[in-house]
Amino acid sequence: MIREWNEESLDHRNTLLYAMGISEEDAKRPIIGLVNTWNEMNPGHYPFDKALIAEMKEEIYKLGGLALELPISGICDGICSNTPGDRYTLPARDLVSSEVEMVANLNMLEGMVIMATCDKVVPGMLMGAVRVDIPTVMFTGGYMAAGHRSDGRMITLTHTKQAYAAYVEGSITREEYKDVVRHACPTPGACPFMGTAQTMCAMAEILGFAPHDNASTRSQSEKWHELARQAARQVMYAWEHEIRPSDILSQSSFENVVRYMMATGGSTNSLLHIPALARQADFDITPETFDAISREVPLLSTIYPNHPTYTMEDFDAAGGIGAVVKELAAAGKIDTEAKGMFGTIGDKAAHAENKNHDVIHTVADPIYDHGGLAVLHGNIGTDSAIVKFSAVDPAAWRFSGPAKCYDSQDDAWHAILKDEIVAGDVVIIRYEGPKGAPGMPHMETFMAAVLGKGLGSQIALVSDGRFSGATGGLAIGHVSPEAYEGGNLALIQDGDMVYIDIEARTLNVDVSEEEFARRKESWKPIVKPATGWLQLFRKQCTSAHRGATVYWDKD
């Protein structure tokens, strides 16, 4: 067994198991936790229902184990978007990691199948699993079907925000806006664009925790159910052979995730989650890692928001994650020897086929000859700042304009709805970072309004907040140091000229160091109210440059 028990403690546990109808013989089996985020509040985790759990329990029982379901938190960023609740979504990642660590170690589990789909929960569960280091596989929820308006046009969740701005502006009717709201999310699963959920589910696969094709398989399909059964069988194999996360993970494992992410234009939130997760496994991934790989790995596939119409349905039909890996492997752009619970990266490439080179390009014929993200440096964000330039019109890769400064997203959002922000402006939204908000909420509502007004390449946003993976337009986030900690972002004033050059990787404002020093003499941080978990997170979390986590320091 993975765990060591003495007779008294094991008998004491078993007495409580007998109370729930577990037989004496079954109590001798290794207990595998089905650590489940199912709830009735969001569609990403909704597929992990009792019927699915029964299928997985049956497979584990056949192979000698006893699977018991253990629920933990499963949150969805979309539920609380543009509300004070969004401050909790990033801190939820670390809280979820603590829950996984707690239920696994408190219950002395022999192994786990961890189940989640959404943005912060997938990396959180993996962070906890790495700390626990018992045989673990992951099963993610698959993708949601794309929505369609009554006239047949493709829509997704993020189109609702754009439609609201267009409705306020008067370019569409209220009925047209409500049509988008009603039809954007037709089924459970992860939002079908290249957002954070899809990026993180792919991360679980590339790291080797989830079955091949899991993230690029339609939720609740028969193939998805078979992958769930496969995950259940594989955790028993891992238990029997005592294969732990520490046996499969390496520096190359995490660099492979970054390589895949660059090839697909993955979410900017990866620059928070991958470094934080790697840190738990004693590996080092930094923003500089992302930027170096971005210069080496070309962009091979774009789905919404990086493409106007392609969604996960098109990506799946073209061959999905495996097809991208196959193209990278053929060009020597990914480490095929990296291990996983379901085989190596080379195994993933071998079983895949690229069925549509318009959706998934070859390395010889890329969409761009560099990856989809860039790390910027300058006197704004002296540590780093992030932009997903695969979602930016190339005409806006170089941009300059006067600053318009706001100390919250809400203020900036109302300003653009009132046309107080105009083409050519560089909008500064600050005090929305990990400590400033606290919790580093999304700035997607503001950018959706920009896009809804048709200004995606005419207005730039620079913020210490973060973005949804579905955000398009010239959106620069994760500015570190953040305003709350006295970074130069806090000292910019209305009218200061800001200069952005994505290809040169620079982000600067025309303010001298001497002027910054003069302004800082009278500066005081804006302290937004926080209680409980948010207050603790503010005190303990690192900067966005270092994963925005309470678990960075290992001492």
- What's the confidence (pLDDT) of residue 324? 98
Residue 287 corresponds to which tokens in the numbers above?
Answer: 């923003």
Q: Which of 308, 46, 40, 37 is nearest to 193 (CA)?
A: 308
User: What pLDDT band is residue 409 in, cutting at 50, 70 and 90?
Assistant: very high
| Res 25 pLDDT > 90 | yes
- What's the confidence (pLDDT) of residue 115? 98
d(CA 298, CA 92): 33
| Res 468 pLDDT > 90 | no
pLDDT digits (tens, 9 = 90+) for 95-139: 999 999 999 999 999 999 999 999 999 999 999 999 999 999 999
- The answer to whether the peptide bond before residue 441 is cis (omega within 30 degrees of 0) is no
Contacts for 322 with CB less than 8 Å, ≥ 6 apart: 212, 213, 216, 348, 349, 351, 352, 353
| Res 366 pLDDT > 80 | yes
pLDDT digits (tens, 9 = 90+) for 33-84: 999 999 999 999 999 999 999 999 999 999 999 999 999 999 999 999 989 9
User: What pLDDT band is residue 16 in, cutting at 50, 70 and 90?
Assistant: very high
Q: Is 407 exposed, middle or buried (0-12, 13-18, 19+ CB in 10 A)?
A: middle
User: What pLDDT band is residue 372 in, cutting at 50, 70 and 90?
Assistant: confident
- What's the confidence (pLDDT) of residue 23? 98
pLDDT digits (tens, 9 = 90+) for 179-220: 999 999 999 999 999 989 999 999 999 999 999 999 999 999
| Res 469 pLDDT > 80 | no
Residue 152 corresponds to which tokens in the numbers above?
Answer: 């047949």
Q: Please spell the DSSP secondary structure of 142-173, one letter per residue.
A: -BPPPEE-TTS-EE-HHHHHHHHHHHHHTSS-
Q: Which of 94, 89, 84 is nearest to 42 (CA)?
A: 89
| Res 305 pLDDT > 90 | no
Q: Once rounded to an integer, what is the mean pLDDT over residues 394-410?
A: 96
Q: Which of 408, 431, 407, 440 is nearest to 541 (CA)?
A: 440
Q: Which of 36, 536, 75, 94 is nearest to 277 (CA)?
A: 94
Polymer length of the chain: 555
In percent, the amount of the chain with pLDDT more than 70 equals 100
- What's the confidence (pLDDT) of residue 391? 84
Q: Which of 380, 372, 522, 393 is nearest to 458 (CA)?
A: 393
In percent, the amount of the chain with pLDDT more than 90 equals 94
| Res 472 pLDDT > 90 | no
What residues act catalytically? 468
| Res 1 pLDDT > 80 | no
- What's the confidence (pLDDT) of residue 390? 83
pLDDT digits (tens, 9 = 90+) for 233-251: 999 999 999 999 999 999 9
Q: Once rounded to an integer, what is the mean pLDDT over residues 416-428?
A: 97
Residue carrying the six token digits 């900017």? 268
Q: What is the mean pLDDT of the chain?
A: 96
- What's the confidence (pLDDT) of residue 144? 98
| Res 554 pLDDT > 80 | no
d(CA 283, CA 552): 11
- What's the confidence (pLDDT) of residue 306? 86
pLDDT digits (tens, 9 = 90+) for 506-542: 999 999 999 999 999 999 999 999 999 999 999 999 9
